[in-house]
Amino acid sequence: MDEGKDGGDQVYKLDKVIVRDHPLKDESMVVMPDVTVINVDKFQKAGSVETIRDVLSEALGLSVLQSSVTPNQSEGIYIRGMDQSRYQIFMDGRPMRLHGSYGYFKMDWTTVPLDNVETIEIIRGSHSLLYPFSMGGAINIITKKGKKTDDLKPDCIVRTGFGPYGAQSYSANVTGGMLETIGYSLAAAHREGDGYLRGNDYNTDNLNGRFSLYLPTGGTITYGIDHVDTVTGYAVINDPNDLASDYDSTYPIVTAGEVDTFTHDHEGKAYPGGKNQWERTVNDQHLLIEQPLPVGELRGQVYKQLSTRDTYARYADGSDKYRYKKEYTGGFALDYLDFDLIDKHSLSIGGDYRNQGTPDNKDFYAITALFIQDVWSIADPVTLTFGTRWYEFATDSYEFGDLSKKTRRIEKEWCPKARLDYEFDDGLSLYASVSREMRMP
């Protein structure tokens, strides 16, 4: 809530992707029936807060499963019991999960540092048409964009942290602006640690920048760039009954197959003596345009990400396995949000296109989507949100056992959604929803 013009309380409803300062930004966490907003700078909890995982572990309706003290690229985060194959993750409204030709079932949380994050929104449920491929909900990470000010003195934050098993972290963030026209936010961080299990060390560096141009029309153009280098060692076999593991008693015992290899790749299979680790480099660029209009708001963005991933593992027989991936993801989106052409109806329409694959085959996947949504305030306590999203999903397909026979597989789907809300008071509401959603491989 905030104080209204008449001195009373004014209620703000958060019912869409927010990619700018929101009226609840002075609170550390605001929980509503279907949306939770977390202000990262004001967020506090017992222990250190260095990763997005640390913040999300305190959010209502989320479960964070952690297998070790080492940040993991595929750590399990669940919304109401649904894993990441059934909800989507965004940064400033652009998709961050399911990139490249492999499509990754899991989100690589190690490539989303917390140092340049302003707020995190958690949308529970699949009723909103603004979030594609979100069967169970969505997480939208909103980054710092700088300040509209003529004060040349920036805000500077420097943090250091130390923990068990050699954990160290160093980070700095500079946020400011100039001439009421340009805003900026720059962040850099280094984190490293030895880990609890043998070989499970990590070393991560990231650089992040946001540069905003404040337009005379009240709109904003923001250019963002992110670079992440991360190296994480696999927890290797350490078994006194397994001669190939060259057992080290200073570390806990890890027997073959003890670690969940589906979630953690080579963990539970790798043996010491080789280069057992994964390395990832991510370079992300995007341009975001937000323009308020006399009726509603126009939002558009263009983005591109290039990443490489190297994995190394040694097995019991002394053989080494190496795998290299280079991937590309790009896209654009244009939305016209919250325009009221009809009394008690707030309409939103938009569309987006995304292609992903490798630098040599950028259209391995090609996804086109259009949506229309109406938020109908039927009566003071009753609201109906409904609409539909249309998808066209195209991908390369090969005949089993013969990679020379390639075809283009195309699927088209209509996914209608509706949600009826009855708000008894500010702290109690009842809702019923029905939706259909497409799940991307």
Size of the chain, expressed as the number of residues it contains: 441
Of 35, 19, 29, the C-alpha closest to 137 is 35
Smallest CA-to-CA distance from 31 within 6, 56, 60 is with 60
211 close to 223: Cβ distance less than 8 angstroms: yes
Beta bridge partner(s), residue 353: 332, 368
> Which pLDDT belongs to residue 225?
93
Q: Which tens digit of pLDDT belongs to each residue from 165-180?
A: 888 889 898 999 999 8
**What are the pLDDT digits (tens) for 62-89?**
666 655 555 555 556 766 666 666 677 8
Full-model pTM: 0.78
- Our CA angle for 112, 65, 191, nearest 5°, is 40
- Confidence band for 5, pLDDT divided at 50, 70 and 90: very low
Do the Cβ atoms of 32 and 16 come closer than 8 Å?
Answer: no
Which pLDDT score, from 0 to 100, does residue 440 have? 64
Helix/strand/coil for 172: strand
Residue in the structure block whose two tokens are 């949000």 = 337
Structure tokens at 356: 């992903």
For residue range 380-409, list pLDDT tens digits in order. Answer: 888 888 999 999 988 887 767 666 777 888
pLDDT bin (cut points 50, 70, 90) of residue 184 is: very high
Higher pLDDT, 424 or 80: 424
331-362: burial string, b at 16+ Cβ within 10 Å, e else: bbbebbbbbeeeeeebbbbbebebbbbeeeeb
Query: Does pLDDT of 203 surpass 70?
Result: yes
What pLDDT sits at residue 147?
85
Q: What is residue 244's predicted lDDT score, i.e. its pLDDT?
A: 86
- pLDDT tens digits, residue range 336-381? 998 888 888 989 999 999 998 888 888 888 999 999 999 888 888 8
Distance (Å, whole) CA 422 – CA 420: 7
Tokens for 137? 């909900």
Candidate from 26-35, 142-151, 211-220, 297-306 with smallest mean pLDDT:
26-35
Q: β-strands 137-143, 182-193: how paired?
A: unpaired
**For residue 238, what is the DSSP state?**
B
